[in-house]
Amino acid sequence: MKIALAQLNYHIGNFKANEKKIVNAIEEAKAKQAELVVFAELSICGYPPRDFLQFDDFIAHCENSIEEIAQHCNGIAAIVGAPSKNPNKKGKPLYNSAYFLAEQKVQSVHHKQLLPTYDIFDEYRYFEPAGEVNCIQYKGKKIALTICEDLWNIEGEYLYQKSPMKQLKSLGADFMVNIAASPFHKNQTEERDRVFAWNTKAFDLPLYYVNHIGAQTELIFDGGTAYYDSKGKKCTELNSFEEGLLFLDSEEDLKEVKPKPASSIEKIEKALILGVRDYFKKLNFKTATLGLSGGIDSALTLAIAVKALGAERVIPIMMPSQFSSDHSITDSIALCNNLGCKYHEIAIKPIYDSFEKQLEPLFKDTAFNVAEENIQSRIRGALVMAHTNKFGTILLNTSNKSELAVGYGTLYGDMAGGLSVIGDLYKTEVYELSEYLNRDEEIIPTNILTKEPSAELRPNQKDSDSLPDYEILDKILYDYIENEMSPQQISKKGYNEELLAKILRLVNLNEYKRHQAPPILRVSKKAFGMGRRMPIVGKYLI
């Protein structure tokens, strides 16, 4: 059987655009004599549709698209992901389904059995798990069709009591097809290969795997569409982060391929560029604004935005204060010249002086402290937001994960923005990615990479005045946030007890700030936002 795997970039709720992509892929596959073309999980509506699924009209649009797509399935069959209604009065009103289309109609509908409800997933909120599973019978073959999580319940890591593939194998399946909406994180490729190798070897069946590419706000999809033989070897795959069709013959004996593995930092760069590009494209935004401080965080954010959108669509604004060093301005100008960006400069000292004058009666006989520091940040936030409002741009946030973790950001100041570009990168990763961007030529000036980090909100301020070195801080944060280790477990690594208690207390106390942060492009397994749900008023460790 000649099979085409379609790795496409869908848009949540954009039924006409999604339908057009799917139909075009069917016609291309048909022209190349494919007999079956496979599309990703919930490809009709995009993933994750979230509470759109609770609108009857949204489901009706899905059904209409399926009917239209079926009309193009003459001389070829297709597997397409979409929600379907649960006809029973018991349980959730919908299934997460895969439609098998052939001879211009729906031949069968197959439902997802294992519904993830961890990390960024919340599928049991909407869907009823499949009660039974059945193979697709087509061209003399029995196809074991599974949907994403259905293949991730592997031996030794059981999350569910059922195994859809054990049932499908018992029905005499000839090969597996898995359609997925599996979001990217920097170690996802290795995990995916491990899980699929286990399945193919355990059931002695080859696997055809199809995933989304593209970004849906904070979630980024890398693709990974591939074929694995029955011995667990990946034999061919599509390029990550790109649309494409992969053509295969089920009778062909393919050899294992060992492409040069991309480093995690290379994958992160591609993911962030795609995340910014799709955010603007899918929301029809044209231009980005950001504050440029002369520090590494805003420099990296600007460089990624330019790669995603082009220099003419990114407007950096420098806003020096009386505490800004001269090199903050010169470094920023050098960066803009390297990237080909036009920039604006607005000095904030006159505005700050007016605030100080108006607040004098209220602040009388008090020392300069964080209040005055935050005024500067909020002035800058007001200025960049004024620009976005006047010219219809979108503000990109430049905070990193280390700062967000310990609350070193100002609400309504440097935490403002429509999208957080590097909010899932620890400070050490910010340096690593910045150096990677400079691998062929200097984009980010060397002085930005080498100078000591500072918010420059008071004379001679350094991040190290109140925080440990980022090499130490980030390791503690990673163990607490990603590894979900207890204070007792982390302390066994030899950290100063007082320092450890301070850092963990800061993480928990500042949950209220993170609830007000912009959506963060996710590149780790545990990003702030939809994948980490913590109470604001919890007393744990405080």
Q: Where are the domains of the chain?
A: 2-251, 268-463
Catalytic site residue from 2, 19, 21, 41 = 41
Whether 429 is a known active-site residue: answer: no
Q: Averaged over 24-44, what is the pLDDT?
A: 98
Kindly report the backbone phi and psi dihedral angles of residue 100, in degrees, each rounded to the nearest multiple of 5, phi listed first.
-100, 115
List residues bridging with 209 in a β-sheet.
178, 226
**What are 189-228's pLDDT values in tens digits?**
999 999 999 999 999 999 999 999 999 999 999 999 999 9
Kindly report the backbone phi and psi dihedral angles of residue 221, in degrees, each rounded to the nearest multiple of 5, phi listed first.
-115, 130
CATH number of 2-251: 3.60.110.10
Neighbour tally for 386: CB within 10 Å: 13
d(CA 499, CA 73): 64
Catalytic site residue from 45, 62, 135, 148 = 148
Shared fold status for 2-251 and 268-463:
no
d(CA 392, CA 517): 20
Kindly report the backbone phi and psi dihedral angles of residue 222, in degrees, each rounded to the nearest multiple of 5, phi listed first.
-100, -5
Q: Return the C-alpha torsion angle 296, 302, 303, 309, nearest 10.
A: 170
Place of tokens 């593209």: 214
d(CA 47, CA 49): 5
Kindly report the backbone phi and psi dihedral angles of residue 162, in degrees, each rounded to the nearest multiple of 5, phi listed first.
-105, 155
d(CA 75, CA 451): 64
Whether 148 is a known active-site residue: answer: yes
H/E segment holding residue 465:
none
- Coil, helix or strand at residue 155: coil
d(CA 492, CA 495): 7
| Range of lowest pLDDT (103-112, 253-262, 313-322, 431-440) | 253-262
Burial (Cβ within 10 Å: 0-12, 13-18, ≥19) of residue 119: middle
| Range of lowest pLDDT (103-107, 133-137, 161-165, 198-202) | 161-165
Report H helices in 204-295.
Answer: 264-282
Given pLDDT bands bounded at 50, 70 and 90, which one contains residue 480?
A: very high
Catalytic site residue from 2, 112, 186, 401 = 112
**What are 315-333's pLDDT values in tens digits?**
999 999 888 778 889 999 9
Whether 336 is a known active-site residue: answer: no
According to DSSP, the β-strands at 2-7 and 36-38 are parallel
Q: Using the 8-state DSSP alphabet, how is residue 262 labeled? A: P
d(CA 210, CA 187): 18
Q: Cα–Cα distances in Å, from 96 out to 18, 36, 366? A: 17, 21, 60
Given pLDDT bands bounded at 50, 70 and 90, which one contains residue 142?
A: very high
H/E segment holding residue 83:
strand 77-85
Place of tokens 């790109």: 242
Q: What's the pLDDT score for residue 453?
A: 80
d(CA 60, CA 47): 17
Q: What's the pLDDT score for residue 457?
A: 74
> Which CATH code, of 3.40.50.620, 3.40.1050.10, 3.40.1410.10, 3.10.110.10, is assigned to 268-463?
3.40.50.620
Model pTM? Answer: 0.95
Please state whether the peptide bond connecting residue 49 to the residue before it is cis, i.e. omega within 30 degrees of 0.
Answer: no
Q: What's the pLDDT score for residue 436?
A: 97
Token pair belonging to 6: 């379609």
| Range of lowest pLDDT (64-68, 240-244, 459-463) | 459-463
Q: What's the pLDDT score for residue 542?
A: 54
**What are 448-475's pLDDT values in tens digits?**
999 888 777 778 777 777 789 999 999 9
Report yes or no: 57 and 65 within 8 Å, Cβ to Cβ. Answer: no
Residue 410 has pLDDT above 90, yes or no: yes
Residue from 179, 147, 171 nearest 3 by CA:
179
d(CA 309, CA 493): 43
Mean pLDDT estimate for the chain: 95
Q: Return the C-alpha torsion angle 9, 14, 17, 23, nearest 10.
A: 80
Report H helices in 319-455.
Answer: 326-339, 349-363, 370-391, 401-406, 427-437, 446-450
Residue 425 has pLDDT above 70, yes or no: yes
